[in-house]
Amino acid sequence: MFGRKIKLFTLFGFEVSIDASWIIIVVLVTWSLAVGFFPSYYPRLDVPTYWAMAAVGALGLFASIIFHEFWHSVVARRMGLPMRGITLFLFGGVSEMTEEPRSARTELWMAAAGPFSSILLGFAFWGVYRWGDSVGWPAPVLGVTAYLAFINFILAAFNLLPAFPLDGGRIIRSLLWRWKKDLTWATRIAASLGAIIGAILIGLGLLNMLAGALVGGLWYLVIGIFLRSAAQSSYRQVVVRQRLQGERVRDLMVRDPVTVAPDLLLTEFVEDFIYKHHHDMYPVLDNGRLVGAVRIKDVRTVPREERGWRKVADVLSPFTAELVLPPDMDLGEALDRMTTSGNSRFLVVEEGRLAGLITLKDVSTAVSVRLQLES
Ligand SMILES: [Zn+2]
């Protein structure tokens, strides 16, 4: 979502990562628990205790969100959808699907699994709280347990908002999809609901802030803005995928890309290729054999005064799977690879030989032309 992904650990084959934005959330949550939530429910404890409770509470929230996403992923995998992993980002998590659900039924079960697991976990914490209370657990422990019960119910409630791409919105989309058998239409309605709810949250946030509840209002505002943009971009994603359906990398690739030889001097490479063609990646061919690719950033690693005698071969990125797309790959999938990897240019390789080159720009131009034709 915001780019910088930090890998944490692997849980039953699912890679768990956090987005850099999550660190801000952890700090905010810990702070608001330590100075707001716990002191108001448990007065008469001391400040270090509040901070300890807040730290455990934030950790518990973190684990609860992983639990929620984990069950989405388990159900998805059972229904045959390949899952990459779980990433925690602002306001929760995303289970990374490598493709959209194939049927309304799959989507319904997948979407419902998360909130359902949160409700169960909420009841579990609540049970522990009641039991701990009856056997006389100390107040700080009870406080954290009660908070975790509460926060899991909140997680379930928030995710059940009928605002696509939240779980509740996905449930609605799956029902609409099942009814009219039209995924694009179902997504459009569900995403519109998401945008409307986002707008309501923004309004509530502004009202709260005007009324003096600055922090609470800010939360609503930020969540509202986030929901609106998520609804919009996930709708666009579905439309784009649909426009690209059935098309292959082969159909859009440039068939005779500009290539360079490995013994080319870097100064010549800059003058005759980068300044002339303005691409940022060039396949490197050694007598017709593909040996790798050279990018502007590879040249940058060599100081200017050394570029007169160093060669492309010294800096090229070897021919690896990360730079390559097969010609038969679905364009929607290729687009995903481009957006998730951050690479906008890929070599198209067939049986070890360079067949062409495909860029993000080519794909997005193709999409926008198709969309213009229709509107
Ligand atoms: Zn969920």
Strands (E), 195-298: 281-286, 289-295
68 labeled binding residue:
yes
Pairing of strands 14-19, 83-89: parallel
Confidence of residue 84 (pLDDT cuts 50, 70, 90): low
Q: What are phi and psi of 83, to 5 degrees?
A: -115, 135
By percentage, how much of the chain surpasses pLDDT 90? 19
Q: Is residue 311 helix, strand or coil?
A: strand
Using the mean position of ligand 1's atoms as its centre, give its distance from the Cα of residue 53 in Å: 26
> If we measure between CA atoms, which residue out of 262, 251, 252 comes closest to residue 284?
262
**Nearest Cα residue to 220 out of 238, 202, 232:** 202
Q: Report the C-alpha gap between 362 and 173 in whole angstroms.
A: 31
Number of H helices, E strands in the chain: 15, 10
In angstroms, what is the span from residue 250 Cα to ligand 1's centroid?
Answer: 36
How far apart are alpha carbons 197 and 161 in whole angstroms? Answer: 8
Q: Is 279 annotated as a binding residue?
A: no
Q: How far is the CA of 41 from the centre of ligand 1 (A)?
A: 28
Tell me if residue 96 is catalytic. no
What spacing in Å lies between the alpha carbon of 240 and ligand 1's midpoint? 24
Domain coordinates in residue numbering, the chain: 5-244, 249-374
| 272 annotated to bind ligand | no
368 HSE (CA, 13 A, CB side): 6
How much is the CA Rg of the chain, to the nearest whole Å?
Answer: 26
Who surrounds ion ligand 1 at CB < 5 A?
Answer: 114, 159, 167
Average pLDDT over residues 273-299: 85
Mean pLDDT comparison of 158-162, 200-204, 239-243, 333-337, highest-scoring range: 200-204
**Scanning the structure block, which residue is given the tokens 């509740």?**
168
Please tell me which residue, 25 or 4, carries the higher pLDDT value: 25
- What is the average pLDDT across 291-306? 86
User: Hey, what amino acid is at 340?
Assistant: T
Enter the CATH code of domain 249-374.
3.10.580.10
Return left, alpha or beta for 281; rule: phi > 0 is left, psi -120 to 50 is alpha, else beta. beta
Between CA 314 and CA 318, with CA 317 as vertex, the angle to 5 degrees is 100
Q: What pLDDT, on a 0 to 100 scale, did the predictor assign at position 124?
A: 96
pLDDT band, residue 92 (cuts 50/70/90): low
Per-residue pLDDT at 93: 57
Distance separating alpha carbons of residues 347 and 365, to the nearest angstrom: 18
Q: How confident is the model at residue 2 (pLDDT cuts 50, 70, 90)?
A: very low
Query: Above 70 in pLDDT, residue 99?
Result: no
Both structure tokens of 254: 């440039």
User: What is the rounded average pLDDT for all residues in the chain?
Assistant: 84
Q: List pLDDT tens digits, range 148-188.
A: 999 999 999 988 988 888 889 889 999 999 998 888 888 88
Answer whether 258's CB lies under 8 Å from 285's CB. Answer: no
**Coil, helix or strand for 159?**
helix
Catalytic choice (15, 69, 107, 305): 69
| Cis, bond preceding 165 (omega within 30 deg of 0) | yes
Contact 112, 167 (CB under 8 A): yes
Give the pLDDT confidence score for residue 131 in this predicted structure.
95
Report the residue count for the chain.
Answer: 375
CA–CA distance from 199 to each of 139, 206, 222, 229, 341 (Å)? 40, 11, 11, 11, 32
Which pLDDT tens digit goes with each residue over 339-358?
A: 777 778 888 888 878 888 89
The answer to whether 165 and 97 have CB atoms below 8 angstroms apart is: no
